[in-house]
Amino acid sequence: MSSPQAWWAKIQTAGPLRVPTGDAIPGLATAYDDDGAFVWLLPDYPEGAGHATLAEIGSAPVPLEHPIETRRVMAVVLCLCWHDQMTGPWPGRPVERTTLVTAFRVLRGHGDTESARSIVSGALNQLQRAGWVLLEPQTVRLGPRVALWTATDLVELREICRDLADIRAQALGEAAL
Amino acid sequence: MTAPTDPEQPSLLDADAAAGAVERVYQQMFAVLAKELGGMVDVGDLDVDQAILDAFAAGDPAGVTLEQITSACRGIEPAKVHRRWTVLRGYQAIAPVIDRPNELRHRAAFAPYVMLLFLRRTATQRGQAEIHHLLTAGHRTLQDPSTTEQDAAVLIGQFATLFRLLANELVIMVANRTASELREQAQTSWGNMDLIGQAERVHIEALDRWLSLARECAQLRMALSSYRDAVHAAASRLVDQAGTTRVLGTLPPEAWLEFTRARPAAELAAALQGQYFDAPDPDMSPAQLRSAAESGRRTGRIRVTPPRTTQANEEEPPDEASAADDRDALAATAERALGGRERVEIADVIARAGDWISARRILADLTAAGLHDDLDYELKWRDTLNVDAAGAVPWVTDGEFRRRPR
């Protein structure tokens, strides 16, 4: 299990993998964690491959459950955790789960708290499996996979954060009270 | 003494397909012969059988032992010879010369060899050629002066059944099978139209000679025409499937699907040797995130206008126009009721209207005017009630209609 090819195959099939920095394999997409003590090895695609290609040829990409709500939750997590927009979203700042639920409720026009909480936790579980977020008992933060977003992607993502700025302010303000 | 070799070796795929087709015909023929399901000879076994039977023919007329056979079939593995020997003996194709235990010398029956020859011929000419043979033989039988009307009726009936079966098989195949399967079967079940012509000649022959066979002949005619229809249906299905592009260089999608369906897992997996795939993780593209976030905000706040048909777009305006007209009409009614005053009692309005039929129409208009956003009128009801048993409207709730202060 030492050759770069074997590592590559492993993360392509198993998803992002966290290893001590000393074990990092050159040539793989990585994201440093915990001030550089650990590194995430990330499954990367060659240029022109990936989900966008699948969508182009009309082959359904991997389905999400409740895709729209899950993406909304992801957008909310992004706008709450990405504090320094001059850099990339990784590693970002952790955010309280309750704050996240509040922000989601604000986005959805102050719906029922209970249903918002269940939607958010369902979405977070899905996102965690794919490495889009990392869950800790009380907090949530962006997952290592966000490091794979390209510079072009980030332009649009900043746009999302601008759109949701009021929600961010409101949620963080309510949480502070 | 050895197995006959093919004069020319066709390419591997062709050979495979041909062997498959031959085997299908064998299986179908053996369905009649086999005692129970399962246990089917393959083409290689036939060669061994032939070698064994050849050895019997060349050997001692008084009987041949297994050892002699094995040595005569030198080109073939003894184990294979033994296996076929057991099978042939099991079916009584080979039997001991004298029926007693430990009898070594055996004799062979001629029937298996006839069957073998028949199979060989089928292998080279396919099942359909047999129908040609049958039809030719049938033609001769009908011409033979010694043939009776009874024989002819049986013969015609057999042909009718034959073509019915052919046609039914084909019809079902056209309806249910993929085009590639249809193409594969083309030669064995619907390859040529000559059969129909030949059968029609047989039919005319019979009808000319025995007019009384008209009923049987009609059956045959119907079977023939249903077969012809089935052939046409099959052909048009294939033409449809080829499509307008007629891209003959690439395999049709069905061929790929067929491959994935028919191949064992190991073979399919071999194609992916050395390939790795990302875990089935859903994607989060920024565009999707953005549209989801934006639509999330919209939901429940802005009412989206329902989609309208593109036709009759020109006639849409009446909706707004009628609303505008409505407003003017309401204002006119209200002004008429008020008659220039600031306020008017409902009881007076109703009394002026005379009867309830017209009063209720005015009342409805005044209510609408009072509720209209753009009109400055209001309708106020009080808690008291006027009762007048003799009046046109026996009881009226007190209330007033007035201009709304701006």
Enumerate the residues of chain A whose CB falls inside 8 A of the CB of residue B303. Answer: none
CB B48 within 8 A of CB B81: yes
pLDDT for res B286: 83
For chain B, the average pLDDT equals 74
Sorted by sequence, the CB contacts under 8 Å of residue A173 that are 6+ apart come out as none
pLDDT for res B147: 79
pLDDT band at B325 (very low <50, low <70, confident <90, very high): low
| Distance between B298 CA and the closest CA of chain A, angstroms | 8
Q: What residue of B is the nearest CA neighbor of A55?
A: B283
Report which secondary-structure segment, H or E, holds B58.
helix B43-58
Half-sphere exposure of B280 (CA within 13 A, CB side): 5
Q: What residue of A is the nearest CA neighbor of B302?
A: A109
Tell me the two tokens of residue B13.
């795929």
pLDDT for res B70: 83
Chain segment B61-117, per-residue pLDDT in tens: 778 888 888 888 888 888 888 887 877 777 777 778 887 777 788 888 777 787 778
Considering only CA atoms, which of A133, A46, A148, A44 is closest in space to residue A94?
Answer: A133
pLDDT for res B318: 47
Assess whether pLDDT exceeds 50 at residue B379: yes
CA angle B186, B187, B191 (to 5 degrees): 80
Report how far apart, in Å, the C-alpha atoms of B311 and of each of B307, B308, B314, B315, B318 are.
12, 8, 8, 9, 15
pLDDT one digit per residue (tens) for chain A, 177 residues: 567 777 777 777 777 888 887 776 776 777 887 677 788 888 776 666 666 666 666 666 667 788 888 888 999 899 888 888 788 888 888 888 888 888 888 888 767 788 888 888 889 988 888 888 888 888 898 888 888 888 888 888 888 888 888 888 888 876 655
Q: Identify the DSSP state of B64.
A: B
Identify residue B250 by its one-letter amino acid code.
T
Instruction: Please check whether residue A158 touches B, CB under 8 A.
Output: no
Strands A95-96, A38-42: pairing is unpaired
pLDDT for res B2: 38
pLDDT for res B303: 46
CB B214 within 8 A of CB B207: yes
Assess whether pLDDT exceeds 50 at residue B27: yes
pLDDT for res B41: 60
Sheet holding A38-42, edge to edge: A17-20, A38-42, A29-33
Out of A61, A71, A145, closest to residue B292 by CB: A71
Q: Identify the DSSP state of A148.
A: G
pLDDT for res B321: 46
Report how far apart, in Å, the C-alpha atoms of B344 and of each of B260, B267, B396 are.
86, 93, 14
Q: What is the mean pLDDT of residues B295-314?
A: 56
CB contact under 8 A, A156 and B286: yes
| Distance between A146 CA and the closest CA of chain B, angstroms | 9
CB contact under 8 A, A8 and B292: no
Assess whether pLDDT exceeds 80 at residue B399: yes
pLDDT for res B241: 65
Q: What residue of B is the nearest CA neighbor of A133?
A: B284
What are phi and psi for residue B178, nearest 5 degrees?
-75, 160
Sorted by sequence, the CB contacts under 8 Å of residue B48 that are 6+ apart come out as B3, B73, B76, B80, B81, B84
pLDDT for res B1: 38
Tell me the two tokens of residue B30.
């053996």
pLDDT for res B140: 84
Enumerate the residues of chain A whose CB falls inside 8 A of the CB of residue B297. Answer: 107, 109, 163
pLDDT for res B21: 65
Higher pLDDT, B2 or A30: A30
pLDDT for res B326: 75
Specify the long-range contacts of residues B156-160, CB closer than 8 Å, at least 24 apart: B156/B202, B156/B203, B156/B206, B156/B213, B156/B216, B156/B217, B156/B219, B156/B220, B157/B216, B157/B219, B159/B134, B159/B135, B159/B199, B159/B202, B159/B203, B159/B220, B159/B223, B160/B216, B160/B219, B160/B220, B160/B222, B160/B223
Considering only CA atoms, which of B74, B135, B139, B59 is closest in space to residue B104?
Answer: B59
Of how many residues is chain B composed? 406
What are phi and psi for residue A133, nearest 5 degrees?
-135, 160
ipTM of the complex: 0.80
Out of B289, B295, B300, closest to residue A160 by CB: B289
pLDDT band at B188 (very low <50, low <70, confident <90, very high): low
Q: What is the mean pLDDT of residues B290-305?
A: 66
Higher pLDDT, A39 or B14: A39
CB contact under 8 A, B277 and A12: yes
Strand ranges (DSSP E) for A83-149?
95-96, 133-135, 139-142
What are phi and psi for residue A151, nearest 5 degrees?
-60, -40
Assess whether pLDDT exceeds 70 at residue B362: yes
Q: What is the mean pLDDT of residues B181-193?
A: 64
> How far is Cα B125 from Cα B118, in angstroms, rounded to an integer?
10
Assess whether pLDDT exceeds 60 at residue B312: no
CB A131 within 8 A of CB A26: no
CB contact under 8 A, B281 and A149: no
| Distance between B289 CA and the closest CA of chain A, angstroms | 5
Percent of chain B surpassing pLDDT 90: 0
Name which of A72, A82, A164 to mutate to probe chain B: the one with the most chain B Cβ atoms within 10 A of its Cβ. A72
Q: Which residues of B270-281 are buried (b: 16+ CB within 10 A; e: fewer)?
A: eeeeeeeebeeb
Chain segment B139-185, per-residue pLDDT in tens: 888 888 887 888 888 888 888 888 888 888 888 888 877 776 777 66
